[in-house]
């Protein structure tokens, strides 16, 4: 379900409960590993432009699931770059220069996005495949399924300082 403002408390609770379950975090890690193997097989080019993190500037949005947020929240115990401050208005608060400050724990959509024009022909199908797997795991593991804009989710979870640019108002 896509969250509305009154769902923020339910989202927080679902993420916190899921993050405390090792089997949930491990399941997301397995999906990410399968996804990485597929990406490596296709060899898209990343020129480290930072465009993937500048949502407003390049007209895209990042949506995440409950389990992805749980994986991310659990991974924040590891020291990361980026403060979650609004240093990148209109983009990801964890972008540091042109790099991802949370690269090891970044969400699924970030892992799938490449500026490489040759990757557009396979990205959509792979996105649907792996998102479907994540959605299936929510049911299998009994985790409430939320599908939320990234910056709004970070705000609802208290992982950023205040609201982050546009896009955070949709939760």
Q: Which residues contact 30 (CB under 8 A, 6 or more apart)?
A: none
Region class of 95: left (phi > 0), else alpha (psi between -120 and 50), else beta: beta
Q: What is the pLDDT of residues 51-85, one digit of tens each?
A: 677 777 777 788 899 999 999 999 887 544 444 45
Instruction: State the chain's mean pLDDT as an integer.
Output: 77
Higher pLDDT, 117 or 86: 117
**What pTM did the predictor assign?**
0.80
Q: How confident is the model at residue 120 (pLDDT cuts 50, 70, 90)?
A: low
Please check whether residue 42 is in contact with residue 81, taking contact to mean a CB–CB distance below 8 angstroms: no
User: Can you give the residue ranges of every domain in the chain?
Assistant: 5-170
Q: CA-based angle 83:46:84, to the nearest 5?
A: 10
CA distances to 25, 67, 131 from 137, in Å: 11, 9, 10
Task: Look at residue 78 in the predicted model and tell me its pLDDT.
Answer: 52
Bridge-based pairing state of the strands 99-100 and 95-96: antiparallel
Structure tokens at 5: 């403002």
């Amino acid at each position: 379900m896509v969250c509305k403002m009154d769902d923020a408390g339910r989202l927080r609770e679902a993420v916190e409960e899921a993050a405390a379950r090792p089997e949930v975090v491990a399941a997301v890690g397995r999906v990410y590993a399968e996804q990485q193997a597929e990406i490596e097989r296709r060899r898209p080019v990343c020129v480290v432009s930072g465009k993937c993190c500048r949502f407003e500037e390049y007209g895209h949005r990042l949506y995440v699931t409950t389990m992805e947020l749980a994986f991310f929240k659990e991974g924040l115990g590891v020291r990361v770059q980026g403060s979650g401050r609004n240093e990148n208005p209109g983009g990801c608060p964890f972008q540091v220069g042109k790099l991802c400050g949370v690269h090891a724990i970044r969400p699924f959509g970030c892992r799938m996005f490449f500026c490489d024009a040759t990757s557009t022909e396979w990205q959509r199908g792979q996105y649907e495949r792996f998102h479907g797997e994540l959605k299936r795991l929510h049911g299998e593991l009994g985790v409430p399924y939320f599908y939320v804009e990234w910056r709004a989710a970070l705000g609802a979870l208290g992982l950023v300082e205040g609201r982050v640019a546009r896009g955070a108002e949709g939760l």
